[in-house]
Amino acid sequence: MGHLLDEIGQRRAFRAFNEKKVPEEVIGRIMTAATYAPSCFNNQSWRFLMATEREALDKVRDALSIGNYWMKKAPVLVVVATKPEFGCQMSDHREYAIFDCGLAVENLMLQAFSEGLFAHAVAGYDPLKVKQAFGIPDEFIIITLVAIGYPGDEGHLNEKHKELEHSPRNRKPESEVIAYNRWHFTIDQ
């Protein structure tokens, strides 16, 4: 104990997916890990729509931004959604269900990585197209899409994304994002 888990240390936002089908039992373990995430009052505010068949995959792919072209190779695309009232109602009107979903997505991503898969969450898509394509009621918020698949050939990636696949991990210094015992961040930080 006391060491960073390998999955956390090695996980990255990889984009070179293989189109090989992911076995149902592997998808099941990944999604079970997602549902084991903590949530406010155990409300479990997340809802996951798994696109694994061509028709469903195409609906999600049609909503992707041009920069997320690489997701079209992923054999599993997950739509993560919630309704604000599924989560805790905070006095400052925060939609805590969104945080709960973030915890679940992190579990999903770490389990996928431990299974030898890549998992990459994105914001580059049209949520209204996703809702319309699947008949998701207006009251739901699409939080993110997650691509899941085996590592693949980088040949279909543009030069920028090829470089990112191998670049060093880039994180802000902890002193810029962590404060101990007093707030020292400015409005610009």
User: What is the structure's pLDDT at 2?
Assistant: 66
180 found inside a domain: no
**Domain membership of residue 148 as a residue range:** 18-167
54 found inside a domain: yes
pLDDT in tens, the chain (189 residues): 566 677 666 666 777 799 999 999 999 999 999 999 999 999 999 999 999 999 999 999 999 999 999 999 999 999 999 998 888 888 887 788 999 999 999 999 999 999 999 999 999 999 999 999 999 999 999 999 999 999 988 888 878 887 887 788 888 888 888 888 888 887 776
Q: Name the domain count of the chain.
A: 1
5 found inside a domain: no
User: What is the structure's pLDDT at 4?
Assistant: 64
174 found inside a domain: no
User: What is the structure's pLDDT at 189?
Assistant: 60
SS3 labels along the chain: CCCCCHHHHHCCCCCCECCCCCCHHHHHHHHHHHHCCCCHHHCCCCEEEEECCHHHHHHHHCCECHHHHHHHHCCEEEEEEECHHHCCECCCCCEHHHHHHHHHHHHHHHHHHHCCCEEEEECCECHHHHHHHHCCCCCCEEEEEEEEECECCHHHCCHHHHHHHHCCCCCCCHHHHCCCCCCCCCCCC
CATH number of the domain bearing residue 55: 3.40.109.10
12 found inside a domain: no
> Which candidate, 30, 17, 29, places its Cα nearest to that of 105?
30
User: What is the structure's pLDDT at 31?
Assistant: 98
185 found inside a domain: no
25 found inside a domain: yes
81 found inside a domain: yes
